[in-house]
């Protein structure tokens, strides 16, 4: 417990206090010692004993004078006062002795107290020093603990807390150690601590980059699957609603349709990419004012990662492309989705230029990888699957605002090569179909087969219903070439548009490419191949089947034009015209001519059997009993054409009859006017006319009005001679009205030959007939010369 200090007094204060000392009026024998005690202590401390004694003497003298003055008026009081004064004197002496004793005691006590005071001050100084030392040590311990804690936070990954702790070392340090070597050492270690934090957070980011590369493929796979679902949904909607058929995925209409679907490839039920390590690293580097260094390092690392993704696929072959390309697309999609996320969330860290640099480089490398993988490939399916992967990649990253111009160029290149291979493949298929066709009607055994065939073939209106009414098994009007070609045409169109679905068309008119490709297939590998086979065909039934096939191909071309308009990939208007329609018409004409040629060759064999007696005495044949060759020829012609050409339409059959009968007419006229027969008489002409009449009678049974006037030339020519109507023929009006089919030059030749025949008779009548025929011949010949 600390003692209360006694008051001390100066010399002037001491003298004033002595003057104020009075005896207690209630007891003259009681001394006011309490007032004297501090006074005496002050006297001792200040060595003012003499002053005190002088003051005391002066006080006594004053009191004596006061007493004398009082005593003058009151003796008794004076005596009493003297008595009191004596008492006071005695007391003063006693007090003087006590003061001396107290002075000695107080001196001893003061000296002891001083010694204790000095010892106490020394102890307090030591205690203060110890307190300062303890506080300093505690401060150092706190600093060391903070430094240690920085290390622990670095190991625990609390880099920002570690950095804040280092800042605390700088700003929260007590001044007591600010100038110490220890603190200077601590300060000198701070750069290494910052470097440790920087290295640790960099290592954490490197680890994060590795994890991101591993998870990037899954991110890309999920994003591609989501885009694939969008494409399927939109394709179903396009098929359902024709008004949006031409709208593509990623267009305004599709985006509106898909706006309710929320999917984040980086944060979903299957995966969640945590960007905290990178954000923390960026924050630390910003605090360390080293952000540009991190940006450069990150760009290099990401470029290296992207290069590694592609490097492992540079040796891709057509056999391995379809297995490696999807994985490549998944990794790259994940890679650039992460880059897009960083560009959107940390625009001050990742710049558009950095990302574009990576993207442009990767686009070039993708083109290289795909080009290397497809080098020497001749399978359209590989190109189609490659296009599907690349297009899905393009459509996915287009939604993240990446520039897809170069990849669209890759798709166009793939399309051009794909269309070439597709055309080559189907060209071979069409050539094989045409060359292997037996040109016999295709047989279907039941309704299921019929439905399959009718479902793939383009048939004339009402033809399907007409065929369906027949029983089974039944022969279809066409051979297997037609349905197989129809299937191939449909497959070609489907495979063509499978590739073009979703492909940008700014640089290529896809519809025109398809039209030209189809024209080439149908013209060069169907129509011309059929025409080539026709040249070697002699079987009339096969030729007739070819005609039927060609008629159906013409129908198919007309129907196909409408199909192509409905499947139009672009919005360009106008009808679609296939030039192969004309090519099939040309080939059809060739087939019909081939029928004519085959029939004519058959007729030639009958012509060789003809044996006319050119100078008979009477006609050798009549309309009821024609020449043998004529009977056999007409029997063959009517039976052959009707049976073999039964599947042809009436127009074609009529044309075949017309050609055959025209050939007979020509042969008869050539025989009568040719050089082989030098002369003949009227009886021979009557036989020829009888044969013609028989032919006309048989033809009339066919009920074909178009064939009525085929033999007008030979019939009218002979009738002019047999009816002696040469003079009538010479009249222009009669000639133009009744004998327009008769050619003067031929009539003149026949008349001349008749004249030669009559000249052989020798008789006067014969010579007269001969002269008349020569004269008629000369007159008719003059008509030919006009």
User: pLDDT tens digits for 608-656?
Assistant: 888 888 988 888 888 788 888 989 988 888 887 777 777 777 778 888 8
CB 410 within 8 A of CB 370: yes
CB 477 within 8 A of CB 422: no
Q: Is the pLDDT of residue 782 over 80?
A: yes
Q: Is the pLDDT of residue 4 over 50?
A: no
- Integer Cα distance of 45 and 8 in angstroms: 8
Average pLDDT over residues 460-473: 84
- Integer Cα distance of 663 and 637 in angstroms: 12
The interaxial angle of helices 481-500 and 510-522, nearest 10 deg, is: 160
Q: Which of 525, 459, 532, 461 is nearest to 488 (CA)?
A: 525
Q: Which two tokens stand for residue 472?
A: 């089974």
**Bridge partner list, 443:** 475
- Integer Cα distance of 419 and 496 in angstroms: 7
Least confident interval from 103-112, 553-562, 771-780: 103-112
The string of DSSP codes covering 618-680 is S-S--SSS--HHHHHHHHHHHHHHHHHTTTS-HHHHHHHHHHHHHHHHHHHHHHHHSSS----
3-state class (DSSP) for residue 267:
strand
The counts of H helices and E strands in the chain are: 28, 2
- Burial pattern 440-455, b for ≥16 Cβ within 10 A else e, equals ebbebeeeebbeebbe
- Integer Cα distance of 56 and 65 in angstroms: 14
CB 698 within 8 A of CB 656: no
**Bridge partner list, 508:** none
Average pLDDT over residues 279-302: 85
Residue 718: in which H helix or E strand, if any? helix 712-722
Question: Could you read off the pLDDT of 526-549 as tens digits, one per residue?
Answer: 888 988 888 888 888 888 888 888
Q: Which two tokens stand for residue 392?
A: 């899905």
* Angle formed at CA 432 by CA 427 and CA 434, multiple of 5 degrees: 95
Q: How many CA atoms lie within 13 A of 637 on its CB side?
A: 31
Count of beta carbons in the 10 Å neighbourhood of residue 147: 16
Least confident interval from 193-202, 204-213, 225-234, 504-513: 504-513
- Burial pattern 363-383, b for ≥16 Cβ within 10 A else e, equals bebbbebbebbbeebeebebb
Binned at pLDDT 50, 70 and 90, residue 8 comes out as low
Q: Provide the pLDDT for residue 27.
A: 44
CB 523 within 8 A of CB 583: yes
Q: Which two tokens stand for residue 183?
A: 């603190």
Average pLDDT over residues 289-303: 87
- Integer Cα distance of 685 and 754 in angstroms: 10
Q: Which of 392, 367, 382, 412 is nearest to 322 (CA)?
A: 382
CB 92 within 8 A of CB 29: no
Binned at pLDDT 50, 70 and 90, residue 245 comes out as very low
Q: Which of 707, 725, 735, 718 is nearest to 776 (CA)?
A: 725
Q: Which two tokens stand for residue 149?
A: 């804690």
Binned at pLDDT 50, 70 and 90, residue 667 comes out as very high
Identify the burial level of 218 via C-beta atoms within 10 angstroms of its C-beta, where 0-12 means exposed, 13-18 middle and 19 or more buried: middle
DSSP label at 527? I
Binned at pLDDT 50, 70 and 90, residue 25 comes out as very low
Binned at pLDDT 50, 70 and 90, residue 248 comes out as low
Q: Provide the pLDDT for residue 487.
A: 92
Binned at pLDDT 50, 70 and 90, residue 189 comes out as low
Q: Is the pLDDT of residue 101 over 70?
A: yes
Q: How many CA atoms lie within 13 A of 507 on its CB side?
A: 12
Binned at pLDDT 50, 70 and 90, residue 408 comes out as confident
- Integer Cα distance of 254 and 233 in angstroms: 10
pTM assigned to the model: 0.67
Mean pLDDT of the chain, nearest integer = 80
3-state class (DSSP) for residue 443:
strand
Residue 334: in which H helix or E strand, if any? helix 318-345
Q: Provide the pLDDT for residue 30.
A: 47
Q: Provide the pLDDT for residue 170.
A: 67
Q: Which two tokens stand for residue 422?
A: 């597709």
Least confident interval from 474-483, 500-509, 629-638, 700-709: 500-509
| 583/42: higher pLDDT | 583
Tell me what percent of the residues of the chain surpass a pLDDT of 90.
4
CB 651 within 8 A of CB 685: no
> Rg for the chain (alpha carbons), in Å?
67
Least confident interval from 304-313, 399-408, 500-509, 674-683: 500-509
- Integer Cα distance of 694 and 670 in angstroms: 19
Instruction: Return all residues near 634 (Cβ < 8 A) that are at least 6 apart.
Output: 626, 694, 695, 698
Least confident interval from 159-163, 510-514, 537-541, 568-572: 568-572
The single residue listed with the structure tokens 């910003």 is 286
Count of beta carbons in the 10 Å neighbourhood of residue 404: 20
DSSP label at 25? T
Average pLDDT over residues 244-259: 50
Least confident interval from 354-363, 745-754, 758-767: 758-767
CA 508 to chain centroid, in Å, comes to 18
The string of DSSP codes covering 721-785 is HHTT-HHHHHSHHHHHHH-TT--HHHHHHHHHHHHHHHHTT-SHHHHHHHHHHHHHHHHHHHHHH
* Four-point Cα dihedral 153, 157, 160, 162, nearest 10: 20
What are the distances in angstroms from CA 412 to CA 329, 390, 420, 695? 18, 11, 12, 66
| 666/261: higher pLDDT | 666
Least confident interval from 2-11, 365-374, 469-478, 702-711: 2-11
Instruction: Return all residues near 84 (Cβ < 8 A) that are at least 6 apart.
Output: 28
Average pLDDT over residues 46-73: 74
Average pLDDT over residues 114-118: 86
The string of DSSP codes covering 209-238 is HHHHHHHHHHHHHHHHHHHHHHHHHHHHHH
The single residue listed with the structure tokens 């269309």 is 419
Q: Which of 593, 592, 479 is nearest to 545 (CA)?
A: 479
The single residue listed with the structure tokens 């590694």 is 308
Question: Could you read off the pLDDT of 124-146 as tens digits, one per residue?
Answer: 888 888 887 787 777 777 777 77
Count of beta carbons in the 10 Å neighbourhood of residue 317: 13
Q: Is the pLDDT of residue 508 over 60?
A: no
The single residue listed with the structure tokens 């050609």 is 659
- Integer Cα distance of 227 and 325 in angstroms: 17
Q: Which of 242, 243, 248 is nearest to 227 (CA)?
A: 248
* Four-point Cα dihedral 238, 242, 246, 249, nearest 10: -20
Average pLDDT over residues 258-285: 79
């Amino acid at each position: 417990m600390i003692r209360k200090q006694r008051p001390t007094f100066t010399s002037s204060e001491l003298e004033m206090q002595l003057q104020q000392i009075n005896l207690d009026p209630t007891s003259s024998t009681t001394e006011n010692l309490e007032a004297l005690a501090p006074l005496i202590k002050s006297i001792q401390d200040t060595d003012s004993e003499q002053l005190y004694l002088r003051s005391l003497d002066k006080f006594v003298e004053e009191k004596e004078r006061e007493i004398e003055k009082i005593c003058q008026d009151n003796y008794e009081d004076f005596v009493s006062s003297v008595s009191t004064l004596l008492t006071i004197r005695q007391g003063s002496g006693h007090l003087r002795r006590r003061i001396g004793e107290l002075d000695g005691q107080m001196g001893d006590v003061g000296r002891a107290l001083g010694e204790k005071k000095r010892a106490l001050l020394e102890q307090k100084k030591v205690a203060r020093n110890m307190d300062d030392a303890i506080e300093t040590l505690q401060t150092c311990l706190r600093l060391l603990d903070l430094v240690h804690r920085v290390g622990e936070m670095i190991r625990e990954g609390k880099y920002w807390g570690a950095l804040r702790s280092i800042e605390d070392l700088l700003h929260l340090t007590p001044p007591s150690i600010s100038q110490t070597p220890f603190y200077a050492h601590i300060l000198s270690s701070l750069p290494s601590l910052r470097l440790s934090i920087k290295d640790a957070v960099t290592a954490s980011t490197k680890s994060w980059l590795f994890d991101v590369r591993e998870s990037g493929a899954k991110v890309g796979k999920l994003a591609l699957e989501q885009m694939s679902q969008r494409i399927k949904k939109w394709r179903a909607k396009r098929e359902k609603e024709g008004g949006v058929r031409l709208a593509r995925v990623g267009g305004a209409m599709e985006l509106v349709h898909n706006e309710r679907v929320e999917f984040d490839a980086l944060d979903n039920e299957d995966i969640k990419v945590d960007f905290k390590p990178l954000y923390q690293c960026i924050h630390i580097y910003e605090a360390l004012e080293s952000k540009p260094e991190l940006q450069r390092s990150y760009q290099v690392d990401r470029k290296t990662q992207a290069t590694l993704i592609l490097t492992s696929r540079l040796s891709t072959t057509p056999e391995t492309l379809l297995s490696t390309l999807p994985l490549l697309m998944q990794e790259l999609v994940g890679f650039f989705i992460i880059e897009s996320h960083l560009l959107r969330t940390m625009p001050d860290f990742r710049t558009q230029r950095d990302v574009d640099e990576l993207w442009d480089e990767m686009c070039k490398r993708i083109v290289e990888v795909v080009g290397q993988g497809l080098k020497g490939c001749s399978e359209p399916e590989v190109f189609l699957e490659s296009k599907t992967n690349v297009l899905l990649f393009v459509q996915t990253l287009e939604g993240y605002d990446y520039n897809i111009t170069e990849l669209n160029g890759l798709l166009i290149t793939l399309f051009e090569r794909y269309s070439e291979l597709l055309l080559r493949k189907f060209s071979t298929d069409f050539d094989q179909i045409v060359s292997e066709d037996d040109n016999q009607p295709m047989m279907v055994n039941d309704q299921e087969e019929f439905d399959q065939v009718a479902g793939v073939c383009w048939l004339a209106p009402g033809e399907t219903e007409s065929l369906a009414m027949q029983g089974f098994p039944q022969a279809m009007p066409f051979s297997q070439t037609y349905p197989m070609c129809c299937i191939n045409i449909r497959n070609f169109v489907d495979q063509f548009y499978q590739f073009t679905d979703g492909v940008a068309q700014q640089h290529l008119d896809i519809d025109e490419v398809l039209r030209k490709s189809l024209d080439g297939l149908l013209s060069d590998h169907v129509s011309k191949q059929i025409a080539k086979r026709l040249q070697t065909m002699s079987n009339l039934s096969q030729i007739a089947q070819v005609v039927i096939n060609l008629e159906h191909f013409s129908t198919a071309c007309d129907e196909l034009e409408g199909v192509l308009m409905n499947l139009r990939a672009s919005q360009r208007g106008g009808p679609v015209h296939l030039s192969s329609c004309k090519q099939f018409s040309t080939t059809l004409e060739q087939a019909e001519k081939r029928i004519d040629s085959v029939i004519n060759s058959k007729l030639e064999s009958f012509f060789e059997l003809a044996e006319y007696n050119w100078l008979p005495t009477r006609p050798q044949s009549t309309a009821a009993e024609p020449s043998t060759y004529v009977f056999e020829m007409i029997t063959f012609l009517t039976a052959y054409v009707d049976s073999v050409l039964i599947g042809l339409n009436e127009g074609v059959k009529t044309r075949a009859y017309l050609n055959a009968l025209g050939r007979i007419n020509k042969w008869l006229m050539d025989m009568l006017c040719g050089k082989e027969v030098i002369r003949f008489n009227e009886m021979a002409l009557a036989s020829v006319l009888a044969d013609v009449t028989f032919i006309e009678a048989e033809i009339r049974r066919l009920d074909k009005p178009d064939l009525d006037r085929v033999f007008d030339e030979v019939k009218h020519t002979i009738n002019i001679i047999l009816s002696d109507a040469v003079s009538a023929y010479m009249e222009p009006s009669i000639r133009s009205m009744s004998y327009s089919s008769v050619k003067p030059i031929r009539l003149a030749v026949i008349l001349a030959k008749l004249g030669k025949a009559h000249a052989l008779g020798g008789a006067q009548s014969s010579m007269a007939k001969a002269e008349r025929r020569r004269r008629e011949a000369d007159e008719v010949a003059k008509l030919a010369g006009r």
